[in-house]
Amino acid sequence: MTRLEWIQSTGYSIAALVAIFTIFSYFYTQKKQRALDIVKFSLDQHRRLFDDEGLFEILNLIDGSEAEQSTLADPSMGNKKRKLITFFEEMVLLVRAGYMSEDFALYMFGYYALQARHNTHFMSGISTDYSDFGIFFDFADRYSERQGVIEVKKVSITP
């Protein structure tokens, strides 16, 4: 091999290494960006629960005194209660789709799902038929099963 051929071969090798590094960097960056997007999305869901006035009102009533909780039985609260149930069902569907970990969903939202599920005032006027709100019931039941077992220090947003 002549000196010119050696230089040419070295140039091709360097170009190939740069190309490989560039491709690796691109995929690594995309993976990190996807993880960051999932974190942002998951935290936005948590904020949504507390920023939405209707949902926040229901959460406060669920945690309130017995007299405050009785307000949940009012027929005017029906849409707000169904909106909260739908929120919990959306979290389950996000877990199933791999957008957030089950532990994260249970840790962040399970308490309120369980409180709602077993609150007679909240459940009044709400169908208890599994075919209507089965995903919600499963979520609350799953939190009940896992309560005390979830390792808080190991909870991660991403699956």
3-state class percentages of the chain: helix first, strand second, coil last, to nearest 5 = 80, 0, 20
Contact 68, 61 (CB under 8 A): yes
C-alpha gyration radius of the chain: 25
| pLDDT tens profile 122-142 | 999 998 899 999 999 999 999
Residue 123 exposed, middle or buried by CB count within 10 Å (0-12, 13-18, 19+) = middle
Q: Which residue has the higher pLDDT, 138 or 26?
A: 138
Tens-place pLDDT, residues 76-105: 999 999 999 999 999 999 899 988 889 989
Alpha-carbon distance of 148 to 114, in angstroms, equals: 14
CA 159 to chain centre: 10
On whether the CB atoms of residues 134 and 140 are closer than 8 A, the answer is no
pTM of the model: 0.76
Measured in degrees and rounded to the nearest 5, phi and psi for residue 53 equal -60, -40
Give dist(CA 143, CA 137) in Å, integer: 10
Max Cα–Cα distance, the chain, nearest Å: 93
| 102, two tokens | 């089950």
